[in-house]
Structure 1
Amino acid sequence: MPLNSRTLLIAASLAVAGVPALAGGSAAGGASLAVTISGIKSSKGVIRLAVCPPAAGFPECKGHMVKAADLAIDKGKAHAVFSGLAPGSYAISVFHDANGNGRLDTFAGIPREGYGFSANPGFKPRAPRFDEAKIDLDGDAATEIRMRYIL
Protein backbone atom coordinates (compact mmCIF):
# COMPACT_ATOMS: atom_id res chain seq x y z
CA MET A 1 0.00 0.00 0.00
CA PRO A 2 1.55 3.35 -0.92
CA LEU A 3 2.49 5.71 1.87
CA ASN A 4 -0.28 8.14 0.88
CA SER A 5 -3.04 5.53 1.16
CA ARG A 6 -1.56 4.22 4.38
CA THR A 7 -1.62 7.59 6.09
CA LEU A 8 -5.15 8.31 4.93
CA LEU A 9 -6.39 4.96 6.22
CA ILE A 10 -4.71 5.43 9.58
CA ALA A 11 -6.04 8.97 9.87
CA ALA A 12 -9.58 7.91 9.00
CA SER A 13 -9.61 5.04 11.47
CA LEU A 14 -8.10 7.07 14.28
CA ALA A 15 -10.43 10.01 13.66
CA VAL A 16 -13.29 7.58 14.27
CA ALA A 17 -11.38 6.37 17.32
CA GLY A 18 -11.07 9.94 18.53
CA VAL A 19 -13.96 9.74 20.90
CA PRO A 20 -13.08 10.92 24.39
CA ALA A 21 -11.65 8.33 26.76
CA LEU A 22 -13.26 5.03 26.05
CA ALA A 23 -10.39 3.66 28.11
CA GLY A 24 -11.51 1.56 30.99
CA GLY A 25 -13.34 -1.63 31.71
CA SER A 26 -15.98 -2.85 29.37
CA ALA A 27 -16.47 -6.20 31.00
CA ALA A 28 -16.15 -7.58 34.49
CA GLY A 29 -12.73 -9.10 34.88
CA GLY A 30 -10.49 -9.49 31.90
CA ALA A 31 -6.94 -8.29 31.48
CA SER A 32 -5.55 -4.78 31.74
CA LEU A 33 -3.18 -3.31 29.18
CA ALA A 34 -1.12 -0.29 30.20
CA VAL A 35 0.08 1.70 27.18
CA THR A 36 2.79 4.37 27.27
CA ILE A 37 3.46 6.47 24.19
CA SER A 38 6.92 8.04 24.27
CA GLY A 39 8.94 10.38 22.09
CA ILE A 40 6.16 12.93 21.64
CA LYS A 41 7.76 16.12 20.31
CA SER A 42 5.19 18.67 21.49
CA SER A 43 2.58 19.03 24.21
CA LYS A 44 0.12 20.59 21.75
CA GLY A 45 -2.95 18.57 20.82
CA VAL A 46 -3.72 15.00 21.86
CA ILE A 47 -2.63 11.47 21.11
CA ARG A 48 -5.37 9.47 19.39
CA LEU A 49 -5.21 5.74 20.04
CA ALA A 50 -7.14 2.70 18.81
CA VAL A 51 -6.85 -0.90 20.07
CA CYS A 52 -7.77 -3.30 17.26
CA PRO A 53 -8.63 -7.02 17.28
CA PRO A 54 -7.31 -9.32 14.51
CA ALA A 55 -10.46 -9.29 12.36
CA ALA A 56 -10.75 -5.48 12.32
CA GLY A 57 -8.54 -4.85 9.27
CA PHE A 58 -5.58 -3.20 11.03
CA PRO A 59 -4.58 -0.40 10.94
CA GLU A 60 -7.92 0.94 9.68
CA CYS A 61 -10.05 -1.02 12.19
CA LYS A 62 -13.08 0.21 10.20
CA GLY A 63 -15.01 1.16 13.32
CA HIS A 64 -14.33 -2.20 14.97
CA MET A 65 -11.76 -1.09 17.51
CA VAL A 66 -12.03 -2.71 20.93
CA LYS A 67 -10.94 0.43 22.79
CA ALA A 68 -10.14 3.99 21.77
CA ALA A 69 -9.01 7.13 23.56
CA ASP A 70 -7.80 10.70 23.20
CA LEU A 71 -4.82 11.07 25.53
CA ALA A 72 -3.31 14.16 27.13
CA ILE A 73 0.42 14.72 26.62
CA ASP A 74 2.69 15.26 29.63
CA LYS A 75 6.46 15.77 29.32
CA GLY A 76 6.73 13.97 25.98
CA LYS A 77 4.60 11.00 27.01
CA ALA A 78 0.99 9.87 27.12
CA HIS A 79 -0.49 7.02 29.13
CA ALA A 80 -3.64 4.90 29.13
CA VAL A 81 -4.82 1.77 30.89
CA PHE A 82 -7.43 -0.37 29.17
CA SER A 83 -9.14 -2.95 31.37
CA GLY A 84 -11.65 -5.68 30.73
CA LEU A 85 -9.79 -7.02 27.67
CA ALA A 86 -10.34 -10.65 26.75
CA PRO A 87 -7.20 -12.77 26.27
CA GLY A 88 -6.01 -12.69 22.68
CA SER A 89 -4.04 -10.67 20.16
CA TYR A 90 -4.44 -6.92 19.66
CA ALA A 91 -2.64 -4.22 17.68
CA ILE A 92 -2.56 -0.51 18.49
CA SER A 93 -2.41 2.51 16.17
CA VAL A 94 -1.60 5.98 17.49
CA PHE A 95 -1.07 9.42 16.03
CA HIS A 96 -0.27 12.85 17.45
CA ASP A 97 -3.14 15.14 16.51
CA ALA A 98 -1.08 18.27 17.22
CA ASN A 99 -3.60 20.72 15.78
CA GLY A 100 -6.73 18.96 17.06
CA ASN A 101 -8.36 18.57 13.66
CA GLY A 102 -9.15 14.86 14.17
CA ARG A 103 -6.94 13.56 11.38
CA LEU A 104 -3.34 12.71 10.60
CA ASP A 105 -2.09 15.60 8.48
CA THR A 106 0.16 14.76 5.53
CA PHE A 107 2.19 16.52 2.87
CA ALA A 108 2.52 14.64 -0.43
CA GLY A 109 1.42 11.50 1.43
CA ILE A 110 4.08 11.87 4.13
CA PRO A 111 2.79 12.27 7.69
CA ARG A 112 3.31 15.77 9.12
CA GLU A 113 2.31 14.57 12.58
CA GLY A 114 3.76 11.75 14.64
CA TYR A 115 2.41 8.22 14.45
CA GLY A 116 3.21 4.80 15.88
CA PHE A 117 2.14 1.21 16.28
CA SER A 118 2.36 -1.41 18.98
CA ALA A 119 5.48 -3.62 18.78
CA ASN A 120 7.21 -0.63 17.12
CA PRO A 121 7.67 -2.27 13.69
CA GLY A 122 10.45 -0.88 11.52
CA PHE A 123 9.71 1.68 8.81
CA LYS A 124 8.34 0.31 5.54
CA PRO A 125 6.67 2.13 2.63
CA ARG A 126 3.36 0.54 3.65
CA ALA A 127 1.25 0.19 6.75
CA PRO A 128 2.32 -2.61 9.08
CA ARG A 129 0.34 -5.82 8.95
CA PHE A 130 -1.51 -6.92 12.07
CA ASP A 131 1.06 -9.63 12.81
CA GLU A 132 3.88 -7.03 12.70
CA ALA A 133 2.21 -4.89 15.37
CA LYS A 134 0.38 -7.45 17.48
CA ILE A 135 0.52 -7.82 21.22
CA ASP A 136 -0.48 -11.18 22.69
CA LEU A 137 -2.44 -10.59 25.87
CA ASP A 138 -2.74 -13.52 28.29
CA GLY A 139 -3.05 -11.42 31.45
CA ASP A 140 -2.23 -7.94 32.64
CA ALA A 141 0.52 -6.39 30.50
CA ALA A 142 2.27 -3.15 29.64
CA THR A 143 3.67 -1.90 26.35
CA GLU A 144 5.44 1.19 25.05
CA ILE A 145 4.90 2.74 21.63
CA ARG A 146 7.56 5.10 20.30
CA MET A 147 6.23 7.95 18.18
CA ARG A 148 7.80 8.37 14.75
CA TYR A 149 8.03 11.79 13.11
CA ILE A 150 9.08 12.12 9.48
CA LEU A 151 8.52 15.84 8.80
Structure 2
Amino acid sequence: MIRPLSILSLLLLAAPAAAGELRATIANVKPHGGTVMAGLYASPDTYTRDERTAGVQLAPLAGTVTAVFAGLAPGRYALAVFQDADGDGRLSTNLVGIPTEAYGFANNPAAAFGKPGFDAVAVTVGDGVAETAVALTP
Protein backbone atom coordinates (compact mmCIF):
# COMPACT_ATOMS: atom_id res chain seq x y z
CA MET A 1 0.00 0.00 0.00
CA ILE A 2 1.34 3.42 -0.97
CA ARG A 3 1.01 6.01 1.72
CA PRO A 4 0.12 9.63 0.89
CA LEU A 5 3.20 10.84 2.75
CA SER A 6 5.42 8.64 0.57
CA ILE A 7 3.89 10.07 -2.59
CA LEU A 8 4.45 13.62 -1.31
CA SER A 9 8.09 12.79 -0.53
CA LEU A 10 8.62 11.45 -4.05
CA LEU A 11 7.04 14.53 -5.59
CA LEU A 12 9.26 16.83 -3.54
CA LEU A 13 12.37 14.91 -4.60
CA ALA A 14 11.33 15.09 -8.26
CA ALA A 15 10.53 18.82 -8.20
CA PRO A 16 13.25 20.95 -9.76
CA ALA A 17 15.09 23.37 -7.52
CA ALA A 18 14.23 27.02 -8.06
CA ALA A 19 16.49 28.47 -10.73
CA GLY A 20 16.93 32.01 -11.90
CA GLU A 21 18.41 33.76 -14.87
CA LEU A 22 20.65 36.81 -15.14
CA ARG A 23 20.66 38.88 -18.31
CA ALA A 24 23.37 41.50 -18.68
CA THR A 25 23.17 44.08 -21.45
CA ILE A 26 26.74 45.10 -22.32
CA ALA A 27 27.21 48.45 -24.07
CA ASN A 28 30.19 50.16 -25.73
CA VAL A 29 31.32 46.93 -27.41
CA LYS A 30 33.69 47.51 -30.31
CA PRO A 31 32.28 45.46 -33.20
CA HIS A 32 34.90 42.94 -34.37
CA GLY A 33 37.20 44.22 -31.58
CA GLY A 34 37.67 40.88 -29.81
CA THR A 35 35.47 38.43 -27.94
CA VAL A 36 33.42 39.81 -25.05
CA MET A 37 34.11 37.74 -21.93
CA ALA A 38 31.65 37.83 -19.02
CA GLY A 39 32.37 36.14 -15.69
CA LEU A 40 29.92 35.49 -12.87
CA TYR A 41 31.06 35.03 -9.26
CA ALA A 42 28.87 33.50 -6.54
CA SER A 43 30.61 34.93 -3.46
CA PRO A 44 33.04 37.60 -2.31
CA ASP A 45 35.72 34.90 -1.92
CA THR A 46 35.39 33.54 -5.46
CA TYR A 47 35.30 37.10 -6.81
CA THR A 48 38.49 38.03 -4.94
CA ARG A 49 40.26 34.85 -6.11
CA ASP A 50 38.93 35.31 -9.68
CA GLU A 51 37.27 31.86 -9.63
CA ARG A 52 34.26 32.12 -11.93
CA THR A 53 31.04 30.31 -11.14
CA ALA A 54 30.01 30.68 -14.79
CA GLY A 55 31.32 32.42 -17.86
CA VAL A 56 30.19 33.25 -21.36
CA GLN A 57 31.98 34.40 -24.50
CA LEU A 58 30.09 36.63 -26.90
CA ALA A 59 30.83 37.58 -30.48
CA PRO A 60 31.19 41.36 -30.79
CA LEU A 61 28.91 41.81 -33.78
CA ALA A 62 27.19 44.98 -32.55
CA GLY A 63 27.79 47.84 -30.12
CA THR A 64 25.55 46.13 -27.55
CA VAL A 65 25.45 42.42 -26.69
CA THR A 66 23.58 40.43 -24.05
CA ALA A 67 25.08 37.80 -21.77
CA VAL A 68 22.61 35.26 -20.38
CA PHE A 69 23.32 33.08 -17.35
CA ALA A 70 20.54 30.51 -16.85
CA GLY A 71 19.88 27.90 -14.19
CA LEU A 72 21.30 29.96 -11.32
CA ALA A 73 20.50 29.23 -7.71
CA PRO A 74 18.90 32.24 -5.99
CA GLY A 75 21.53 34.51 -4.46
CA ARG A 76 23.87 37.42 -5.13
CA TYR A 77 26.36 37.25 -7.98
CA ALA A 78 29.14 39.62 -9.04
CA LEU A 79 29.54 40.21 -12.77
CA ALA A 80 32.75 41.35 -14.50
CA VAL A 81 33.14 41.82 -18.26
CA PHE A 82 35.96 42.67 -20.66
CA GLN A 83 36.56 42.72 -24.39
CA ASP A 84 39.53 40.51 -25.25
CA ALA A 85 41.10 42.62 -27.99
CA ASP A 86 44.34 40.62 -28.14
CA GLY A 87 42.67 37.18 -27.93
CA ASP A 88 44.71 35.87 -24.99
CA GLY A 89 41.67 35.03 -22.82
CA ARG A 90 42.48 37.42 -19.99
CA LEU A 91 42.22 41.12 -19.19
CA SER A 92 45.52 42.63 -20.29
CA THR A 93 47.15 45.38 -18.24
CA ASN A 94 50.13 47.67 -18.61
CA LEU A 95 53.24 47.55 -16.38
CA VAL A 96 51.50 49.32 -13.49
CA GLY A 97 48.37 47.15 -13.65
CA ILE A 98 46.01 49.49 -15.51
CA PRO A 99 43.78 47.57 -17.95
CA THR A 100 44.62 48.05 -21.62
CA GLU A 101 41.38 46.41 -22.80
CA ALA A 102 37.80 47.63 -22.36
CA TYR A 103 36.18 46.35 -19.15
CA GLY A 104 33.15 46.91 -16.96
CA PHE A 105 31.11 45.57 -14.06
CA ALA A 106 27.45 45.10 -13.17
CA ASN A 107 25.91 48.29 -11.78
CA ASN A 108 28.67 50.35 -13.49
CA PRO A 109 30.56 51.36 -10.32
CA ALA A 110 33.61 53.59 -10.45
CA ALA A 111 36.82 51.54 -10.57
CA ALA A 112 39.53 54.15 -10.13
CA PHE A 113 42.01 52.04 -8.11
CA GLY A 114 41.58 48.33 -8.73
CA LYS A 115 38.43 46.40 -9.21
CA PRO A 116 35.41 47.44 -7.15
CA GLY A 117 34.27 45.28 -4.24
CA PHE A 118 31.78 42.42 -4.52
CA ASP A 119 28.87 44.42 -3.05
CA ALA A 120 29.33 47.19 -5.64
CA VAL A 121 29.02 44.76 -8.56
CA ALA A 122 26.58 42.21 -7.11
CA VAL A 123 23.19 41.49 -8.65
CA THR A 124 20.46 39.64 -6.78
CA VAL A 125 19.00 36.69 -8.67
CA GLY A 126 15.74 35.08 -7.57
CA ASP A 127 13.72 32.37 -9.25
CA GLY A 128 12.85 34.60 -12.23
CA VAL A 129 14.84 36.85 -14.57
CA ALA A 130 17.16 39.51 -13.15
CA GLU A 131 18.64 42.17 -15.41
CA THR A 132 21.64 44.43 -15.20
CA ALA A 133 23.63 46.70 -17.49
CA VAL A 134 27.36 47.00 -18.03
CA ALA A 135 29.04 49.85 -19.92
CA LEU A 136 32.54 48.91 -21.05
CA THR A 137 35.21 51.57 -20.60
CA PRO A 138 35.93 53.34 -23.88
- Please report the TM-score for the alignment, with normalisation by the length of structure 2: 0.77
Q: Which runs of 4+ in 1 moved over 6 A?
A: none
- The one-character-per-residue Cα deviations of 1:51-76 (angstroms, maximum 9, x if unpaired) are 101144325433xx221111111221
Partner of 1:58: 47
Unaligned runs of 5+ in 1: 1-26
Highest Rg: 1 or 2? Answer: 2
Partner of 1:44: 33
Partner of 2:3: none
CA RMSD of aligned residues (A): 1.9
- Please report the TM-score for the alignment, with normalisation by the length of structure 1: 0.71
- The one-character-per-residue Cα deviations of 1:74-112 (angstroms, maximum 9, x if unpaired) are 221222211111111001111110121112222232211
| 1:59 and 1:128 in contact (8 A); partners too | no
Partner of 1:75: 62
Q: Does 1:148 align with 2:110?
A: no
Partner of 2:107: 119
Number of aligned positions between the proteins: 121
Partner of 2:75: 88
User: Which letter does structure 1 place at the counterpart of 2:62?
Assistant: K
**Structure 2 CA distance for aligned equivalents of residues 144 and 74 of structure 1:** 18
Percent of aligned positions that are identical = 36
| 2:106 and 2:134 in contact (8 A); partners too | yes
Unaligned runs of 5+ in 2: 1-15
